[in-house]
Amino acid sequence: MRMRPTLSWTPAEDVPPGTTNLEPVADALSTGGVLVLSGAGISTESGIPDYRGKGGSLSRHTPMTYQDFTASAQARRRYWARSHLGWRTFGRARPNAGHRAVAAFGRHGLLSGLITQNVDGLHQAAGNKGVVELHGSLDRVVCLSCGAFSPRRELAQRLQEANPGFEPVAAGINPDGDADLTDEQVGDFRVLPCTICSGILKPDVVFFGEAVPPQRVEHCRKLVREAASLLVLGSSLTVMSGLRFVREAAQAGKPVLIVNRDPTRGDRHALTRVALPLGTALTTVAGRLRIPIDDQATASVES
């Protein structure tokens, strides 16, 4: 029986309430040296749901775990069928006002770095430079046998040719690019091997149950040490992969600011949590700092 990953937490009664006051965020950005840590919530306005917010995908969807993927050919068939269909929508997603505002802050030299927990590539599509993809990216594929990387669009074309007529209607799309399909819809979807060694192909993302590469974690810790403050955007911080950086920043005496509509696991470490929609909040902050946002920065992930 497939078990759900442990991905929830219950807010304590003493967690500070959210606010609508954006002044601390504007003040931190005006000073510069801000390290941004973003989560799925920043992409919801691009049509990609988050995991845990209202209507989040975890209410209906159990993400693939690394253990399931590597142990079961049927699990891989289910994953690649759903991911192949989801990629058609996911890959056409465009950056929203939140992504564009973050890019504008970066262009004006206010950011010391940008770490994202997302695998959607929307920060880069908005023009952000030097993005650290904590959990990898769906636009790359890696072979678990020989370690070769290849573009996702190449595999998408191969899967299209190997599965002609595969056009099921999905019930929804998830933050990991996985479309909601029944086992009947998956059917006998054909999974393809590595073209170099015939090994198992996996998207270059960190699955649930899989560890973030240690060198990537250390790079992020270095960014935290070098930053003046940490700004968390659209993350519940439920999993330790992001929460540890919040804890480390707070322990080092660096201000932690969070913009997230719902309470987060990091609220007790934060100077403030702004409970506003990200696009609205970041656009407002950019206006107060007189920083123009490039509305033309709307390339799709596939671009």
40 annotated to bind ligand: yes
Q: Is 178 exposed, middle or buried (0-12, 13-18, 19+ CB in 10 A)?
A: buried
Check the annotation: does 291 bind a ligand.
no
How far apart are the two ends of the chain, measured CA to CA in Å?
40
Residue 235 marked as a ligand binder: yes
DSSP 187: T
Q: Is 42 annotated as a binding residue?
A: yes
CA distance 186 to 179: 11
Q: Is 45 annotated as a binding residue?
A: yes
Residue 30 marked in a binding site: no
Q: What's the CA gap between 98 and 41, in Å, rounded?
A: 10
The CA distance from 156 to 172, in Å, is: 19
Answer yes or no: is 33 a known binding residue.
Answer: no
Q: According to the annotation, is 55 in a ligand binding site?
A: yes
Residue 116 known to bind ligand: no
> Is residue 32 a known part of a binding site?
no
135 is catalytic: yes
The active-site residue, picked from 61, 84, 135, 269, is 135
Phi-psi region of 237 (alpha: psi -120 to 50; beta: other; left: phi over 0): left
Contact 226, 121 (CB under 8 A): no
Going by C-beta distance under 8 Å and a sequence separation of 6 or more, which residues neighbour residue 3?
none
> Which parts are annotated binding residues for Zn(2+)?
143, 146, 194, 197
> Which parts are annotated binding residues for NAD(+)?
39-59, 117-120, 234-236, 278
* Active site positions, annotated: 135
> Which parts are annotated binding residues?
39-59, 117-120, 143, 146, 194, 197, 234-236, 278
